[in-house]
Amino acid sequence: MQIPILAWVFQGIPESIALVYCIMGTNQREIDKRILLKIALIDAVAAYGVRFLPLSPGIHIILLITNLAILCSFFAKIEMKKSLTYSIIVMCILILIEVAFNLTIVQLGIATAEKIKNSVLLRICFGLPQVGCIFLLTYLYRKKKYFS
How high is the pLDDT of residue 144?
87
Dihedral (Cα; 96, 102, 104, 105), 10-degree rounding: 160
pLDDT band at 86 (very low <50, low <70, confident <90, very high): very high
pLDDT band at 82 (very low <50, low <70, confident <90, very high): very high
Which residue from 136, 129, 138 is spatially nearest to 10, judged by alpha carbons?
A: 129
How high is the pLDDT of residue 117?
85
Looking at 28-112, list the stretches that DSSP marks H as alpha helix, in order from N- to C-terminal side. 33-50, 59-75, 80-107
CA distance 100 to 12: 18
**Does the pLDDT at position 21 exceed 80?**
yes
Collapsing DSSP to helix, strand or coil, 110 comes out as coil
How high is the pLDDT of residue 148?
62
**Does the pLDDT at position 1 exceed 70?**
no
- For the beta carbon of residue 65, count every other beta carbon within 10 angstroms: 19
CA distance 6 to 147: 38
pTM of the predicted model over 0.85 = yes
CA distance 18 to 37: 10
How high is the pLDDT of residue 2?
74
Q: For the chain, first and last CA: distance in Å?
A: 42
Average pLDDT of the residues of the chain: 92
